[in-house]
Chains A and B, each alone.
Chain A
């Protein structure tokens, strides 16, 4: 069983298991192979549109919903460290989801883990309803 923690706050020596991830609120959303051939993909999971990609070797997940008008941020392949939303060319840094076009906007990031070739994401961090 491959053990890998991908979140910078998670020490690498803490073992992961599917049961532990589930109890911690993570959900299996895809396989690592889905990153090919572009190094990224987007997918709707429980009404969250997730943009999954590798940045400087680290697996990351951002919201794929552009806060401008809701367009797909990950439609174009990541280029020069930036995503460009298809609809209106809003630019976002892959490093942290911050918006270059409007500094007041940004993309929410998700906690992510890799386990046995699968990608797990925590969709909800605050369990109180809006």
Chain B
């Protein structure tokens, strides 16, 4: 057996805990990433691990497929995601997180796939597809993470909002928050009906933007 491998790395203007929140916020794949994912189902989840089935379309080859993914937090700086796809292919992803200061971190994603030696001819295509996937989802996740960090520092509370906005009062002079407390699993919107999963509302939209 041989291993197809690729590595992508970028820096973020937020703490790594916000990046972890983003990875464990399963619902957002059919929202933020509505162009790629059409459905997901959380089969099991507890604290730092989850088992999720996702349906999506791969870039470049434009293949619509699905995979069963097990994700866990191996340590505060490493998320492991192992996906079992069609044809028995196992896709192994390591997400390495490195603090670069209070408002900055580095995210390195390593993709691996074990194949028969003859399939190493696909190394170039594997690298292209995974890099494109990383960049496409990064372009959608980065503003989400930055915004989440921004509203958090302004005093945002989940399922409530920002107090000075809701109460129509003056904004407090200084922010009381300088760190992001990681809460896993991430609170979710109840599925309606239970067990039905999360589906995107549309595949196309006129985007006004952030």
**Which positions in A face B, CB cutoff 8 Å?**
38, 40-42, 46-48, 63, 65, 67-72, 74-77, 84-90, 101-102, 104-105, 108, 124-130
Identify A70's interface contact among B151, B172, B205, B209, CB under 8 A: B151
17 A-B pairs in the complex with CB atoms less than 8 angstroms apart: A47-B154, A47-B171, A63-B166, A69-B148, A70-B148, A70-B161, A75-B210, A76-B205, A77-B206, A89-B30, A89-B201, A105-B161, A126-B167, A126-B169, A128-B170, A129-B172, A130-B172
Interface check B128, CB cutoff 8 A: no
Report the interface size for chain B: residues with CB under 8 A from the other chain: 37
Q: Which residues of A contact B206 (CB under 8 A)?
A: 38, 76-77
Using Cβ atoms and an 8 Å threshold, which residues of chain B touch A63? 161, 165-166
Residues facing A in B158-197 (CB within 8 A) are 158-172, 189
Q: Which label, helix, strand, loop or mixed, suits the secondary structure of the B interface?
A: loop
> Closest chain A residue to B167 by CB distance?
A130
| Contact call B27/A88, Cβ cutoff below 8 A | yes
The proximity string for B residues 1-41 relative to A, scoring 1 for CB distances below 8 Å and 0 otherwise, is 00000000000000000000000010110111000000000
Q: How far is the CB of B118 from chain A (nearest CB, A)?
A: 42
Q: Which of B207, B208, B209 has the most CB of A within 10 A?
A: B208
| Chain A CB within 10 A, most for which of B31, B154, B167, B206 | B31
Task: Find out whether the CB atom of B205 lies under 8 angstroms from the CB atom of A77.
Answer: yes
B133 within 8 A of A: no
Residues on B with C-beta less than 8 A from A108 are: 161, 165-166, 168
**CB closest residue in chain A, given B168:** A125
Given contacts A48-B165, A84-B201, A129-B169, 12 further A-B contacts (CB under 8 A): A42-B209, A65-B161, A65-B165, A67-B160, A67-B161, A70-B148, A71-B144, A75-B208, A76-B207, A89-B30, A108-B168, A124-B169
State which of B31, B159, B172 has its C-beta within 8 Å of the C-beta of A67: B159
